[in-house]
Amino acid sequence: MTSISSTKFALFGAVLIAISYGLARFAFGLFVPPIRDDLALTPGVIGIIGALPLISFLLATLVAPLAAIRLGARNAAMLSGAFGAVGLGLISQASGAVSLGVGVFACGICTGLMMPALTAAMQALVNRSVHGRVSSAMNAGTSIGVAVAVPAILFMADAWRFAYGSFAVLAAIGVAATWFVIPSVSRVTPASIATPPRISAQQWWRLGRLSVFAFAMGFVSSAYWIFAPDLAVTLGSLSPDNTGWLWLAVGVAGLGGAVVADLADRNNPPITQALMLMMLAASLSLLAASPGQLALSVFSALVFGLAYMSLTGLYLMTGIRLLPGRLSVGPVLPFMAVSLGQAIGSPVVGMLVNDMGYADAFSTFCAIGILVAMLSPFYPRYLEQADEEEGEEDTGLQAAYDYQLPDPDDEDTEPSQEPQESPGN
């Protein structure tokens, strides 16, 4: 098995996440104004198209763990990158709603396959004592990818096809690099881990509450991800290239999300959930109130980026801690709930924009976010009262991973066979 340092793996994983999440998924909203004008699409149609990559993300997530095992981490990551390159290429050549929809659907498959493939590789190649740190570094790739898309809109606002063609080339380079950087492995199972016990009714109840909050956050955030730049252009008369500063602010502020999520783990997750969801809702209202003021619009993007990335990090840690030993369930369900909320919210906000206009539609979603934030006392607590006095070393994403292991000092592992050697293939 080819060895790779944890630092090199984390950096390369962050690059792949930047392409698959930042460029293939979240950059779409940044280019909505020129795409809508060139293809003569209504907000309702844009809302439906914006939901397609989220639907395909959900479908891909369901089969991604099996794909990582059967194909191996390297091949699964390459398959993800191939979908991204094809999808981005189709978007660059889109002639109407159908071809555009096919492209963004393929990009959603890319997003859904990538993280499980990298997680499988991490479990096999990286010492488990640094899994949390490596995951944090890879997750930061989303913010980096969003920020990388900014120069494209600043300098190529009227050449969105060329911009997406460039993204497709980057995705293709990522596929080629994956072949050389990531060995063909599936996963490693710690030998010290026994079969996890059955999920109790209380755990299901807590995981269900977490998923409801994740769904609501995804629903509310869909308005910003899909329509924020279009609102600034339509209501605020900002030029499409100026909207790039919004995504730069989202990307930069998103890097601080890991810090806030770690603070939530140290202190009070329900209070952090309420605060961050209130901030996310406020960012919608602030943008709708002053779309023509670039400074205020950028500030709203800073607030949104920090709140969104903090909440996704909080849901990740909560899901991991709720179900010890079940990394394929605990953190996966809330992330699927976020995407489901975005998939449903995107066409809803599109219809509201058609019927009520941008300002009222964003204000409505802001009100929903505030209402959900008020229900945050029901956010599940994953630490019992007796455990809340643990030291600082027992908090954060790394501690959440360590919490899965009954004996963190036992480094014995049982690597699974590479796909080409397994008896079933």
pLDDT of residue 408: 45
CA angle centred on 51, ends 379 and 166, rounded to 5°:
115
pLDDT of residue 212: 94
Integer angstrom CA distances of residue 419 from 47, 127, 276, 404, 412: 40, 22, 42, 26, 22
Please enumerate in sequence order all residues whose Cβ is within 8 A of that of 197, keeping only pairs 6 or more positions apart, or say none: none
d(CA 99, CA 97): 6
Integer angstrom CA distances of residue 202 from 81, 136, 214, 311, 416: 39, 28, 18, 23, 32
d(CA 142, CA 236): 27
Residue labelled with tokens 């394929």? 328
Q: What is the pLDDT along the chain (425 residues), one digit of tens a residue?
A: 456 778 888 889 989 999 998 888 888 888 888 898 899 998 889 999 988 998 999 899 888 888 888 888 889 999 999 999 999 999 999 999 999 999 999 999 999 899 888 888 887 787 777 776 777 778 778 888 887 777 777 776 678 899 899 999 999 999 999 998 887 665 555 444 455 667 778 878 888 899 999 999 999 999 999 888 888 888 887 777 777 788 888 888 877 776 776 676 666 788 888 999 999 999 999 999 888 888 899 999 999 999 998 898 888 878 877 776 565 566 778 888 998 999 899 999 999 998 898 899 999 999 999 999 999 999 887 544 334 444 444 556 655 556 555 544 444 444 444 443 333 43
d(CA 204, CA 40): 46
What tokens appear for 308 in the block? 């969104």
pLDDT of residue 78: 94
CA angle centred on 251, ends 364 and 59, rounded to 5°:
70
Which domains does the chain show, CATH number per domain? 7-187 (1.20.1250.20), 200-397 (1.20.1250.20)
Give yes or no for a contact between 373 and 277, defined as CB atoms under 8 angstroms apart.
yes
d(CA 214, CA 8): 31
What tokens appear for 99 in the block? 């071809």
What tokens appear for 176 in the block? 């080629």
Give strand pairing partners of 188.
Answer: 415
pLDDT of residue 171: 94
d(CA 80, CA 397): 25
Tell me which amino acid residue 33 is. Answer: P
| Residue 408: HSE in the Cβ half-sphere, 13 Å Cα cutoff | 12
Q: In this structure, what DSSP letter does residue 422 have?
A: S
Tell me which amino acid residue 280 is. Answer: L
pLDDT of residue 420: 39
| Helix or strand (DSSP H, E) at 414 | strand 413-415
Q: Which of 341, 352, 343 is nearest to 105 (CA)?
A: 343
pLDDT of residue 3: 60
pLDDT of residue 401: 59
Beta strands 188-190 and 413-415 are antiparallel
Helix axes 131-156, 97-125, angle to 10 degrees: 150
Q: Which of 346, 345, 340, 351 is nearest to 55 (CA)?
A: 340
Give yes or no for a contact between 331 and 65, defined as CB atoms under 8 angstroms apart.
no
Q: Around Cβ 43, how many Cβ atoms within 10 Å?
A: 25
Longest Cα separation, the chain: 63
Q: In this structure, what DSSP letter does residue 93 have?
A: T
Q: Which of 247, 238, 227, 219 is nearest to 44 (CA)?
A: 227
pLDDT of residue 334: 85
